[in-house]
C-alpha cells in the first residue's frame, strides 16, 4: 500500500476535502489563526468528518517542507488514477468524447511551473497532461500547492518514451502540435477544434529534437515586444485558451 503524502495550503487541501474526503488521514491546522478563511475551512473539515490536529506554524512547515502552507497541511492517501493513458483515452471514446484536448510538457522540471501548468490545464478542461519520466517534475507537495487543487483533478501521466507516446496519439487520430519560436505558422492560424495534443518545452531549451520531429505541425506564439519567449505555464495558458475559444465558438448564438 502506498504511503500517505502531504498536501498543504487552503486550495490543495480544500479540493481534496471536496472531492475525496475519505482519503484524508488527518489535517493539521495552525491553532493561533482564527480569521474567517480558517474558520470556514475548519467548518468544512468537521462536516467531512476528518481528523483535525492543532499545530504551530513550525510543525506544519516541517510537515509540508515549506513555509508557504497558509496554516494548513494534510496527510492523505494517494488517489487511484487510471492505469494508463490508453485507458483514459479508451474511456473518453466510450463516453462520447471525440475531440480530446491534451497537454504535453517536454522537459519541464520546475515544480512551480508544473503546478501552474496543471492549474491552467484544469481551467481549460484538458483531459490529461503528459510528460516523460526522465527530465520532468513529478507530483509533490509543492506542485500540489501551486496547482491549487488541480493536481487532484487533472490526470498526469509520466511516460517512458515520449516520442513513442506521441506516435501512439497520432495513430488514434490526435493531431500533435508543437510550439517553437522559429515555426512559420502562428498559434492563431491553427485549427484546434479537433482532437489535439499541444506540446510545449521548457523555457529556454524548448522541445527536444526528437519530440520536435515527431510533431505533426509546429506553431509559434506571436511576440510583439522585446521579450523573446514566455514562461511555459503562461505559454500553456495562451495555447490552451485559444483551443477553448475555438471549441466554444459554435456554442454561442449571436444576440437577436
CATH 3.40.1280.10 fits 85-251, yes or no: yes
How confident is the prediction for the chain on average, in pLDDT? 89
Decide: helix, strand or coil at residue 240: helix
* 204 pLDDT more than 70: yes
- Domain ranges in the chain with CATH number 3.40.1280.10: 85-251
Q: How far apart are CA 186 and CA 154, in angstroms?
A: 27
CATH class of the domain at 5-76: alpha beta
Number of Cβ atoms within 10 Å of the Cβ of 220: 17
Per-residue burial over 98-107, b if 16 or more Cβ lie within 10 Å, else e, is eebbbbbbbb
Decide: helix, strand or coil at residue 164: helix
- Domain ranges in the chain with CATH number 3.30.1330.30: 5-76
Q: How far apart are CA 25 and CA 144, in angstroms?
A: 17
What pLDDT sits at residue 20? 83
Q: What are phi and psi of 104, to 5 degrees?
A: -115, 125
Cut 0.85: pTM above it? no
* 170 pLDDT more than 90: yes
CB 102, CB 130: distance < 8 Å:
yes
Is the backbone of residue 9 left (phi > 0), alpha (psi -120 to 50) or beta? left
What pLDDT sits at residue 175? 97
Query: What percent helix, strand, coil does the chain show, rounded to 5?
Result: 40, 20, 40
* 251 pLDDT more than 60: no
Ranges 36-40, 67-71, 190-194, 201-205: which has the least confidence: 201-205
Find where cell 506564439 sits. 221
Amino acid at each position: 500500500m502506498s504511503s500517505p503524502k502531504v498536501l498543504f495550503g487552503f486550495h490543495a487541501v480544500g479540493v481534496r476535502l471536496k472531492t475525496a474526503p475519505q482519503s484524508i488521514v488527518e489535517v493539521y491546522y495552525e491553532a493561533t489563526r482564527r480569521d474567517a478563511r480558517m474558520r470556514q475551512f475548519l467548518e468544512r473539515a468537521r462536516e467531512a468528518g476528518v481528523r483535525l490536529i492543532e499545530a504551530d506554524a513550525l510543525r506544519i512547515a516541517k510537515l509540508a517542507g515549506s513555509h508557504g502552507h497558509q496554516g494548513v497541511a494534510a496527510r492523505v492517501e494517494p488517489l487511484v488514477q487510471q492505469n494508463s493513458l490508453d485507458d483514459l483515452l479508451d474511456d473518453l471514446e466510450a463516453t462520447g468524447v471525440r475531440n480530446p484536448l491534451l497537454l504535453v510538457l517536454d522537459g519541464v522540471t520546475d515544480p512551480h511551473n508544473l503546478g501552474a501548468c496543471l492549474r491552467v490545464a484544469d481551467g481549460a478542461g484538458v483531459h490529461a497532461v503528459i510528460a516523460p519520466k526522465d527530465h520532468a517534475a513529478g507530483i509533490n507537495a509543492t506542485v500540489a500547492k501551486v496547482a491549487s487543487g488541480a493536481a487532484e483533478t487533472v490526470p498526469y501521466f509520466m511516460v517512458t518514451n515520449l516520442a513513442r507516446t506521441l506516435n501512439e496519439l497520432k495513430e488514434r487520430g490526435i493531431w500533435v502540435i508543437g510550439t517553437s519560436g522559429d515555426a512559420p505558422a502562428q498559434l492563431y492560424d491553427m485549427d484546434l477544434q479537433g482532437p489535439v495534443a499541444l506540446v510545449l518545452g521548457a523555457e529556454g531549451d524548448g522541445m527536444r529534437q526528437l519530440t520536435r520531429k515527431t510533431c505533426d505541425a509546429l506553431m509559434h506564439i506571436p511576440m510583439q515586444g522585446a521579450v523573446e519567449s514566455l514562461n511555459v505555464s503562461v505559454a500553456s495558458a495562451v495555447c490552451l485558451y485559444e483551443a477553448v475559444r475555438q471549441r466554444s465558438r459554435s456554442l454561442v448564438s449571436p444576440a437577436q
